[in-house]
Amino acid sequence: MATTVDTTWYINFGNGTSTGYYALQQWHTTWTPTVGTLCRQLATPATNSERAFVCIVSGAVGGSEPAWVLTRGAKTTDGSATWMECTGQASVNGDSTNTTVWTTIKSTALALGQIVKDVAADYYFICTTAGTTGSSEPSWVKTAGSTTTDGGATWTCIGAISTFSATWAAPHARLANAFASSWGTAYGSAAAITMFLAGNHAETQASALALAAPGTSSVTCSILCVDQTVAVPPASTAVHATPTASISTTGASTLEIENGGSYSGISFNCGSGATTVGIFFFSNIYPFRFDNCILAKLGTTAAPQLAINFGEFSGSTNYAMGEVVLNNTSLKFGNTGDGITACGTLVWKNSTAFAGSTIPTSLFTIDFYPSANVEIDGVDFSAFSSGSVLIGTAASSKFIIVNCKFPVGMLVVPSAGLGASSSGAYIDVVNCDSGATNYQNARYGQAGSHVTNISVIRTGGASDGVTPVSWQISTLAYCSWPVPFRCQGDAIWNSLLSTNRVVTLAGIWNSAALPNNDQIWIDVEYLGSSATPLASLATETKANVLAAGTALTADSTSQWGSAATARLNSSTYSLGNIIYGSSATNTGGIFFCTGAGTSASSLPGGYASAVDGGAVTDGTATFRAGTRFLLSVILSSPQPAMVGYFRVYIKAALPSTTFYIDTQITLG
């Protein structure tokens, strides 16, 4: 099969009237073009039919515009002249560096329209008879319009390279056409394709647009927005660090980006007016990367899931999706009810989350895909308003969100939780906050959540090195012993072998009794074999669902009140408020309000005499002393046999309950 071998293409819609592609001279009557003359159509062509042509036979043109043959490399007879399609090739856009040299296509079956330079690099030749080239360079006839036979192929000289020095002289008008079969997609080498998109490119169309980049899972097409005023080929310094080029659809016209590819410096704008149409990504498992871009759904009617869709969904079909990377790339919306969804892997990093002032009240809505793996790292969500939700529903997806800026009042998940449709979903949040803190750590799942707490902390317990912290574990109605809420893991190094080790965490909760080992417990993975790193597992919980749970061990020594709000005289307290009761207390020091009311005018003696779980009447309010407990596992069968980490996992299975756990692991 004959092929083209170009790996560099130029695209510039310009302003759609007088710049970019539209700066190329139009065909006109009473014209006798010389070989090497470039032109475009006179009558306005249909969308994606914009072409550039080079004269290969000089002569007077016909009295009316010819019926242009628009296929790659096609010839059009025009009176005594002949034109050949040449759109976007490096040679006719002033780039001799990326014009194919003949030696790279010797003994190759070539298609019509391929432009090469001779080994001496002084003339251009266009393939005017398709065929297989010879094995040695032909004796070129270096006169414009003259032909050279090369094996089964024939070349026509279109002139000296120096006569094609004008940059961006014959670009593609639209990116989709550069991607089309016989242009970008039909290339004969394994080299990656580079497409230069001019910085003033402002392509738009009032119909659906599908951009299917050439390439494979291992060969990526790069589409780079560059400064069109500099010399070609553009150097790395010409690549724009902000989105200056744009590709847009208007009205109810969708925008679909397919088959992977690497895009840089482009605003992708979908729809206008009262419409829900959005941007769809379909990669067929090929990777996407967007650097310095904006992805915009501009229709003003809400699209809760499909404003931006990372993984195309059609009917009941979920399409395969490769990794999508958004680097320094922002999202833009036309309605606060808009949202995005994803499947496969989405990586969003080093970005300001939103461009424009219309910010969704709930961003991610994933409920019909089987799963997504979403990594969000270094993204600024400051534009979210208080009460806005980052992840409304998650299906069975996994999120990890690291080093991001959250505004005050933003919710990672809805206040009521992820809901019944999010079985298997986990959202891990690491070091994300609105202020100068670096200790926030949280996990959210269908069965509950844990967040960092700095007011109910154990004296001498866990700390980030400066701030004492604990985990506040809050379960929801969906948890049970077979399907508990699984906290993030923690670890401690062990080098003591061939002896029993006891792994312990301390906790406290608002209850009159100790929790049972089927309500909260720890699992420990450790290296119990000297021959293999296969984990051994020890658990604190019961053997099976039919077994009865047993009470955890009481903790009579830990103090939890050092950071709690001190009790105040004659103060109003609400159900659930937590206070520090008294330095003379017999308990861990914190008390939970179990009956709303106003405290007494002086400290009641009940605080000093209270025991864990005991009640204290304070004016018209009632408080309960927190009940302390230990989570503990003995590693004995087998004993640790290889140095390494003990990995500790907290599981909570009592619905609608809050536990406070000090995550500092102690070994005995």
Ranges of each domain in the chain: 1-191, 206-446, 485-556+629-667, 572-625
pLDDT surpassing 90 at residue 7 = no
Each residue's pLDDT tens digit, 22-79: 999 999 998 999 999 999 999 999 999 999 999 999 999 999 999 999 999 999 999 9
> Cβ atoms within 10 A of the Cβ of 542, count?
16
Query: Which token pair is 295?
Result: 């992805």
Please state, in angstroms and rounded to a whole number, the distance separating the CA atoms of residues 441 and 450.
8
CA dihedral sign of residues 308, 282, 344, 322 = negative
Each residue's pLDDT tens digit, 266-277: 999 999 999 999
**322, 351 Cβ separation under 8 angstroms:** no
Each residue's pLDDT tens digit, 599-617: 999 999 999 999 999 999 9
**637, 626 Cβ separation under 8 angstroms:** no
3-state secondary structure 358-417: CCCCEEEECCCCCCEEEEEEEEECCCCCCCCEEEEECCCCEEEEECCECCCCCECCCCCC
197-to-58, 116, 182, 228 alpha-carbon distances in Å: 32, 22, 19, 8
Give the DSSP H/E element, type plus range, for residue 295. Answer: strand 294-297
Query: Which residues face 211 on adjacent strands?
Result: 257
Query: Which token pair is 220?
Result: 């990526």
**590, 456 Cβ separation under 8 angstroms:** yes
**100, 114 Cβ separation under 8 angstroms:** yes
Please state, in angstroms and rounded to a whole number, the distance separating the CA atoms of residues 383 and 409.
11
pLDDT surpassing 80 at residue 191 = no
Please state, in angstroms and rounded to a whole number, the distance separating the CA atoms of residues 516 and 166.
80
Local confidence band at 334 (pLDDT 50, 70, 90 cut-offs): very high
* Nearest Cα to Cα of residue 343 among 297, 378, 308: 308
- Determine the straight-line distance between the first and last CA of the chain, rounded to whole angstroms: 73
Tell the burial category of 505 from Cβ atoms under 10 Å away from its Cβ (0-12, 13-18, 19+). buried
Each residue's pLDDT tens digit, 203-213: 999 999 999 88
pLDDT confidence of residue 220: 82
Residues in Cβ contact with 256 at an 8 Å cutoff, skipping those fewer than 6 apart = 208, 209, 210, 211, 279, 280, 281, 282, 312
Each residue's pLDDT tens digit, 546-572: 999 999 999 999 999 999 999 999 999
pLDDT confidence of residue 189: 44
Query: Which token pair is 485?
Result: 């809420």
pLDDT surpassing 50 at residue 289 = yes
Query: Which token pair is 456?
Result: 């109910």
CA dihedral sign of residues 428, 432, 438, 444 = negative
Local confidence band at 518 (pLDDT 50, 70, 90 cut-offs): very high
Query: Which token pair is 118?
Result: 């001779």
3-class SS of residue 596: coil
pLDDT confidence of residue 4: 60
Total-model pTM:
0.94
Give the DSSP H/E element, type plus range, for residue 88. Answer: none
pLDDT surpassing 60 at residue 640 = yes
* Nearest Cα to Cα of residue 444 among 456, 458, 457, 432: 432
**298, 270 Cβ separation under 8 angstroms:** yes
Each residue's pLDDT tens digit, 137-161: 999 999 999 999 999 999 999 999 9
Residue reference for tokens 């330095």: 583
411, amino acid identity: L
484-to-21, 188, 476, 481 alpha-carbon distances in Å: 62, 55, 10, 5
pLDDT confidence of residue 285: 76
